[in-house]
Every structure is written in structure tokens, then in C-alpha cells.
Chain A
Amino acid sequence: MSKTELSEVNRNIYDIKNKDEYDFKIQKGLTKEIIEEISKQKNDPDWMREFRLNALEVYNKLELPTWGPDISELNMDEIATYVRPKTTLSDSWDDVPEDIKNTFDKLGIPEAEKTSLAGVGAQYDSEVVYHSMKEELIKQGVIYTDMETAVRDYPDLVKEHFMKCVPVSDHKFVALHGAVWSGGSFVYVPKGVKVDIPLQSYFRLNSPESGQFEHTLIIVDEGASLHFIEGCSAPKYNKVNLHAGCVELYVKDDAYLRYSTIENWSKNMLNLNTKKAIVGKNAKMEWVTGSFGSKISMLYPMSILNGEGAKTEYTGISFAGGGQNLDNGFKVIHNNKNTSSLVNAKSISKNGGKCTYRSLTRINESATNSKSSISCESLMLDDISISDTIPVNDIRTDEVEMSHEAKIGKISDKTIFYLMSRGLSEEDAKAMIVRGFAYPISKELPVEYAVEMNNLINMELEGSIG
């Protein structure tokens, strides 16, 4: 049948480049001197400076992963790990410099803050430039601030949790993160406090040949609940950019946390992010992820179900176009009895893009009467795209209920003909099928983000002729 040419992506708003203006940009590369300079620039307390230097040592000892996508093009000597924008942290958009504010305006952040969010953090390159939260949450004792402020103002909470969930020895890029981390958000929700409206942090990387290493630390105390949204984007440069953020989530007994991500990094980004949650007794951790951008992504959020009756759900979609290799998935460790995990992963690949779903499900001996259910579905839009599923199931007790289902499919010509016979163009038909495929994921997102995700899908499928 006739094939419609699908154009290369029109990234419009995401691709607006601001001038690479900064207050301070560290020299490229990674040495002890550079780490010490970052630490000095950031005014770290001593323990943090030592933490960074120790992480650098670990980084130097660890090898690159020998599996997954090839990331050999990454040369740390070419990456600036710290870029401080020409502004200071503010709680009013009026105080944010015009070009930076414009960027966030176009991404719809201040507007969303007014209509549907309880608090917003906005990071530009290495530093958070805006942070604000609704008054009533402050009164209830909720803390939502940038990570640097947290290190300074809540040293005990931070010391107790910082890189304890994700230790620097986890892998090479976590060690790198530990050495050069900057920015990110800190959230503490006190016992029993229910935050009904989501908080959102948005990460924007403007500077070329640089890295973003934000650290997000969220503690949802006993019986409390929170929905946190993270958004990321960057304009496209020819040289490699690196994102090696770290997300640590503590969901205490009977608590609830939903962590939603819309990731739309530009297609020169290596996204080597690490996300982990420790889930307490009868607590619930939900991950919702839409992954559209990046040249290479290696991202496997992980839930560690430590408490009895702990639950986790992962709902994720990846969309890889030409030149993209998205190696995403989910890891879960069942450590206690009556725990459960539910995975619904989807991927779409086109124009030679590659999507891999890589997962680990471990049910330890102690996790009797636990349940795990995994479903992954892939859709390939042409014959040159690739889709793969690599699940590892490590089950160490007999008393479990486990199911795994994987489906790989293509859009059939019959379906396209059916929709075209109803007046839809071939592109409309494909976009409708893809939107429908993604619907189980997009319906989990707040409505504005579901709209954004549909727009991204439409953008990805937009034809060259109108």
C-alpha cells in the first residue's frame, strides 16, 4: 500500500534556544579540582563536599554498563557538569529574567500553576530559578523547595535520606550524579497530610554540551499522600548533552505517592536517569511515565516493596523516532508478604527508532502470598523500526501469583483502510490508532498533560504535506 511520508519531528516550542548566557559555567571534564570548584560555587556544607569527592572516587572505579544501548559517544571531558544561570532563586515569576521566564511561559508552566497545581519548581540548566507553593500547604507543614535550600535548612532530614535509597555504588552514572548533582526538588509531606493537587517540577536544559544532574528527594510520611509531576525538555544541539538525575522516593507506611513524568528531552540527549522508591507497609507507589525525547534513554524506575502489603504500579509509554534508542523499563523487588506489583508498559517506534522494554521482577523468599502482573505491548509503525522485550523474573518463593504478557504489533493496512473509509486521511488514521494505543497511559495523566502527550503524538506523526 502507499506509504505516507512522516516528516521529521517538528518540536516547535521545545526547540526554542535561548542564548547560552550564564553566570558561571564550569570547565568541561571531571577532576577533583572541578568537583571542589562546584562544591565551592554551591556553598556546600563540609559533609556534602566530602560526599561529592567520595562519589567521584567511586565513579572512577566503576565501569560503563556492558549491556543495553551503546553510550561510547559520551565523553565526559566534553561535558560541562555545572552551569549556573544568570539569576537567583525566586518565588515570583516577575523576578525571573525575561528570556528564562518566556521559555517557561511557552511550556505553559506559570499557567498550569495558576489552574491546576499546588506548587511549582522550575530549573534552568543547573539551578532552580523558581519555587513556590500554595499557602495552605505551608501551613500544614508541607515542605517543597529546591534541593540546595533543603541541604541548608533541613540537614537532618536530608542527611538521613540523601542517596540512601540510591547509593552512589549503584552504577557509574549514579556515582557521577553524587559528585556533580545540582538543583532538583525536595518534598516532605508530614504524617497524615493529603496533598490533593499535584506539585510539579520542570527541568529545562538550555546550555549546549552540558549536563543536568538534578536531585529529587521526596518523603511522604505515614498516612500522607502526594502526586508529584516532573517535566523535562531541552532544545536540540549537535553535540551530546547528558542528563543523569536522581530521584529518591520514600513512601512510608500507609502513604501514597504518584510520580508522573513527561520527558521530552531533545534528540541529542543521553538520558541516564535513576529513580527508586522505598515503599512501606500498606503503602502505594505509582509511576506514570511518558518518554518521548532523548537520543538514548536508559531508565528503569524501581520500587522496593519493603513493608507488608506494599503495592506498586508502573504505567509507562515510550515513543522512539528515527535515531532514538529508548531502553526503558521497570524494576520491582518484593521483600515482604502480601505485596503486589502491576506493570502496564507500552512502546511505539517509527522511522527506524528502537524501543526496548527491560524489566526485573524479583520476589524474595520472604515475600509470600505476593502478586505480580506484567503486560507490555509494542506498536511498530513501519518495517524498519525495532521493538524488543527483555524481562527478567527472579522468583524465590512458590507462594506467588505471577503473570507476564507481551504483545508486539504493527498497524494493519486493513485498519487504516477502515478509518480512511470514514473520511480520515492516512495520517489522521495512524495518529488516531496511536493515540488510542497510548490512551491507557494518557488517561492516567492530569488532563493538561494528557493533552500535551496527545500533542506530542500528533507532532511526531505530523506529515510534510498539510
Chain B
Amino acid sequence: MEKKLLEIKDLYVNAEEKEILKGINLKINKGEIHVIMGPNGSGKTTTANAILNNPTYKKIKGNIEFESEDITNLKTDEIARKGVFMSFQLPEEIPGVSVTNFLKFAKNKVTGKPVKIFEFKDEVKKYMEELNMNSKNMERSLNVGFSGGEKKKNEILQMLVLNPKLAILDETDSGLDVDAIKVVSKGIEMFKNDDNAVLIITHNTKILHSLKVDFVHVLVDGKIVKTGGQDLAKEIEENGYTQFKR
């Protein structure tokens, strides 16, 4: 069986006419957890957005394959329906749309089948308990008036409910306290299995204390300059990114 899930080949991306990614190569297999680390402005968020083809970011060169299919120029929703999910650094607020209704609608779209309402509710309830979420939030408007931590947990909840093949977590740990980070790690562990993969994008190493990862990539100035194991994260924690800068 094909193990390869995502492959990025020699990807160049511009944002607002500025060259951000300058030849990224990355391969993620099923069953793996990858981490992209790098200083601010190195192109981490651009990488995540490029995978989901956010129209704000312009692809100049290279391509992206998902399950051996070229998804470089597919629309965002088509990519999402193929099984790619992204947890946002700053999740958007949608007034007047409850978390429940949103999740139901999205699940319908992603699976292409109508959601079985009772099963769905039980499933969501179980996840919310695991993530220490207040069940009252289910009827609140999506992300409206949520604290930073609540928004991030809500992203993890969406990941669990939509159950993608590849989950990209863009700075999900940033701005969270130690307890909240533990909850996020727990969510990732609940999600993770041999048939899916996780790509964590972060600029600090805190989340790696409570989570075992397979690969750490260091992204500096739009290029992956080093790839290693969990040890590489430790090295960055101690010495910072200066050693990788030219």
C-alpha cells in the first residue's frame, strides 16, 4: 500500500509580490508527525496556506501532490474534501452560525453524505469532554467571543470531527498556557493513527515536550535548511535559529 500522503516539490510562493518560499521540498508519509520550525517570517504560515491553495498566495513554481494526485491548483474546498485540514493561527468568527450547525454542515461537505444526527452529537460530546470544552459553546456562534484558548480547542475539535487524512496545525500552540497545550497534544494523540499524518507548524518547542514527533524541519528564509528527529528541536531550544542563518 502506498505510504506517501503529501509531497511538495520545489515550491516557490509569493505573497503580496514578495518572494516567500524559495524551493521547498517535503514528503510526509501516513503514520508520521512532522514539525516545521522556524523564526518569524521564515515562510511557515505560507507553506500551510500554499498546501490549501489560499488565493492570497501565488504559486510561482513547483507542485504539490496529495495521495499521488496533483493538487497544486485545486480550489481550497476541493483540497479540503480530499482530506486536508488546517487549524488556523487566528480562526475566523462567524456570527449567527452555531458551532453545532457549522460542524454538521462541514462534515456533510467533507464526507459527501448526510450526517447521522444522534451519532454525530454523541461523537462531538465525547470529543468536547476530552478537550475540556464547555458544552454550552456548541450553541454559541462559531468563535465569536471565544477566548484565544477556546478558539484553538475549537480548531482541534473540528479536526477530530472532520477526521482528515492530513492535519496541518498552524501555530496552534502559540499563545496557549501549559495546560491548554497539553489538551491540544491530547487532541493530536486522539486523532493520530497509522493512516493519517500531522504537520505541526510552530516557532517554539513547548508542544514537543508533550508530544512525540518523527521529523523536525527547520525553515529559514523560505527554505528547509535542516531536517532531523526530535533532537533537532532540543538543539533549537538551546541555541535558537542563529546557527542556521546565513
Q: A413-B56, A417-B55, A417-B76 are in contact. Are A424 and B92 (CB under 8 A)?
A: no
Q: Are B94 and A420 in contact (CB under 8 A)?
A: no
Interface residues of A (CB under 8 A from B): 1-2, 412-415, 417-426, 428-429, 432-433, 435-440
Determine the main DSSP class of B at the interface with A: mixed
Q: Which one of A421, A435, A437, A438 lies within 8 Å of B76 (CB-CB)?
A: A421
Q: Are A436 and B95 in contact (CB under 8 A)?
A: yes
B128 within 8 A of A: no
Q: Are A418 and B92 in contact (CB under 8 A)?
A: yes
| Cβ–Cβ < 8 Å partners of B52 in chain A | 417, 421
| Cβ–Cβ < 8 Å partners of A440 in chain B | 96
Q: Are A439 and B97 in contact (CB under 8 A)?
A: yes
Q: Which one of A1, A424, A426, A439 lies within 8 Å of B105 (CB-CB)?
A: A424
B40 within 8 A of A: no
CB distance from A459 to the nearest CB of B (A): 18
Q: Are A1 and B55 in contact (CB under 8 A)?
A: yes
Nearest first, the 4 closest Cβ-Cβ pairs linking A and B are: A436-B96, A439-B96, A423-B109, A420-B76
Q: Are B110 and A423 in contact (CB under 8 A)?
A: yes
B80 within 8 A of A: yes
| Cβ–Cβ < 8 Å partners of A432 in chain B | 94, 97, 102, 105
CB distance from B157 to the nearest CB of A (A): 12
Q: Name 8 interchain pairs, CB-CB below 8 A, sorted by A.
A: A412-B92, A418-B88, A421-B85, A421-B86, A422-B102, A423-B106, A436-B95, A438-B96
Q: Which one of A2, A415, A417 lies within 8 Å of B94 (CB-CB)?
A: A415
Q: Are A1 and B56 in contact (CB under 8 A)?
A: yes
CB distance from A104 to the nearest CB of B (A): 31
Q: Are B95 and A423 in contact (CB under 8 A)?
A: no
Q: Which one of A415, A422, A437 lies within 8 Å of B110 (CB-CB)?
A: A422
Within 8 A of A (CB), among B31-54: 52, 54
| Cβ–Cβ < 8 Å partners of A421 in chain B | 52, 76-77, 80, 85-86, 88
Chain A proximity mask over B56-83: 1 for CB below 8 Å, otherwise 0: 1000000000000000000111001100
Task: List 9 extra interface pairs beyond A418-B88, A422-B162, CB under 8 A.
Answer: A1-B56, A413-B56, A420-B76, A423-B162, A425-B77, A436-B95, A436-B96, A436-B141, A438-B96
Q: Are A414 and B110 in contact (CB under 8 A)?
A: no
| Cβ–Cβ < 8 Å partners of B162 in chain A | 422-423
Q: A420-B75, A421-B86, A423-B106 are in contact. Are A435 and B97 (CB under 8 A)?
A: yes
| Cβ–Cβ < 8 Å partners of B54 in chain A | 417
B240 within 8 A of A: no
How many B residues touch A, CB cutoff 8 Å? 26
A417-B81 Cα distance, complex, nearest whole Å: 14
| Cβ–Cβ < 8 Å partners of B88 in chain A | 418, 421
Q: Are A436 and B80 in contact (CB under 8 A)?
A: no
A372-B178 Cα distance, complex, nearest whole Å: 46
CB distance from A1 to the nearest CB of B (A): 4
A440-B105 Cα distance, complex, nearest whole Å: 19
| Cβ–Cβ < 8 Å partners of A439 in chain B | 95-97
A437-B141 Cα distance, complex, nearest whole Å: 11
Determine the residue in chain A with the shortest Cβ distance to B83: A423
Q: Are A422 and B94 in contact (CB under 8 A)?
A: no
Determine the residue in chain A with the shortest Cβ distance to B88: A418
Q: Which one of A417, A419, A422, A433 lies within 8 Å of B56 (CB-CB)?
A: A417
Q: A415-B92, A436-B141 are in contact. Are A423 and B77 (CB under 8 A)?
A: yes
| Cβ–Cβ < 8 Å partners of A2 in chain B | 55
B230 within 8 A of A: no
B29 within 8 A of A: no
A436-B97 Cα distance, complex, nearest whole Å: 5
Q: Are B77 and A437 in contact (CB under 8 A)?
A: no
CB distance from B60 to the nearest CB of A (A): 17
| Cβ–Cβ < 8 Å partners of A424 in chain B | 77, 105-106, 109
| Cβ–Cβ < 8 Å partners of A429 in chain B | 77
Q: Are B95 and A422 in contact (CB under 8 A)?
A: no
B91 within 8 A of A: yes
B196 within 8 A of A: no
A426-B77 Cα distance, complex, nearest whole Å: 8
Determine the residue in chain B with the shortest Cβ distance to A441: B96
Q: Are B96 and A422 in contact (CB under 8 A)?
A: no
| Cβ–Cβ < 8 Å partners of A419 in chain B | 92, 94
| Cβ–Cβ < 8 Å partners of B77 in chain A | 420-421, 423-426, 428-429
Most chain A CB atoms below 10 A, which of B80, B85, B94, B102: B94
| Cβ–Cβ < 8 Å partners of B86 in chain A | 421
A429-B77 Cα distance, complex, nearest whole Å: 10
CB distance from A20 to the nearest CB of B (A): 41
Q: A1-B55, A413-B56, A436-B97 are in contact. Are A423 and B92 (CB under 8 A)?
A: no
A415-B95 Cα distance, complex, nearest whole Å: 11
A421-B167 Cα distance, complex, nearest whole Å: 11
Q: Are A423 and B96 in contact (CB under 8 A)?
A: no
B172 within 8 A of A: no
CB distance from B176 to the nearest CB of A (A): 20
Most chain B CB atoms below 10 A, which of A1, A413, A417, A439: A417
B158 within 8 A of A: yes
A413-B57 Cα distance, complex, nearest whole Å: 12
CB distance from A306 to the nearest CB of B (A): 35
A424-B54 Cα distance, complex, nearest whole Å: 14
Determine the residue in chain B with the shortest Cβ distance to A414: B92
A412-B92 Cα distance, complex, nearest whole Å: 10
Determine the residue in chain A with the shortest Cβ distance to B87: A421
Q: Which one of A1, A420, A433 lies within 8 Å of B80 (CB-CB)?
A: A420
Q: Which one of A1, A414, A415, A437 lies within 8 Å of B96 (CB-CB)?
A: A437
CB distance from A415 to the nearest CB of B (A): 5
Q: Which one of B55, B80, B141 lies within 8 Å of A422 (CB-CB)?
A: B80
